[in-house]
Structure 1
């Protein structure tokens, strides 16, 4: 199912660039449902693999990052929001890679703010795509969309700072200390 999400990404981009938001929205929902089903099946069948452990979050991040890029390209997301999202993700990836490569730290569970950040991103992208599909022109929905984008812009650097703080504490503290959330 993770491979299905990866397979969906280029078609999602093609549909958005072609202005086919209904199909793009359907693909995005399919990716979300497959992610949820993948997680439920893995827990239910108690089948967790090392490949899945790494590939699943990569697929999720690629899906979200690609959507931020393409929706910024077509003018639906302000550039500053995408820059903040990518800066956060690049910084975390760089730090995690360095710590993993040096053997300093190998447990990179997401923080509570990191999970909140991802949730707000998913909801924000869903609302933005839904606006294009349903073309409501609703000022209320536009306010929700703008609020979500501002929330994403705020949570990205704050969750990156929390992640850095947790890493610093874990490196300098006892080995058994764990990430909150």
Structure 2
């Protein structure tokens, strides 16, 4: 499924939740296998990200982002989710979010879905901050990510989630890869 807008997910999510209520899959588990920084160009940004499981439904996220060169819409971000029945099988793309510039992201999805949730746990920029200035340093401390909904929506299997960036349609200054498993 390809989508350039998180808003396009609202109707399918509501339908799925109506058909498959939480109680029906309450025993499903999620295991984080790996979080890897695949690529980082420190002339542009420096990052540090960690995720730890607190209990079966909550993961704590800690992170740091240093801006070493002004970041604007020429710095684009995207996400791809791939799934495989077994860890060593071929992975198939199941969800893709087209790349979006940082300023556009801050003024839309970040403003609508993330900022208020992050505010208590970070010094994250206000949505109207763009470009992100050189020298800015952001922190995220003990953000509680509740994965209950994620465990309900994802079919059992192995997943790879790749967060990518592109600068000036030329190279990838930052790539993170998350590997996880959903099982009954």
Q: What TM-score, normalized by structure 1, do the two folds share?
A: 0.27
Bigger RCO of structures 1 and 2 (CA < 8 A, at least 6 apart)? 2
Q: What TM-score, normalized by structure 2, do the two folds share?
A: 0.26
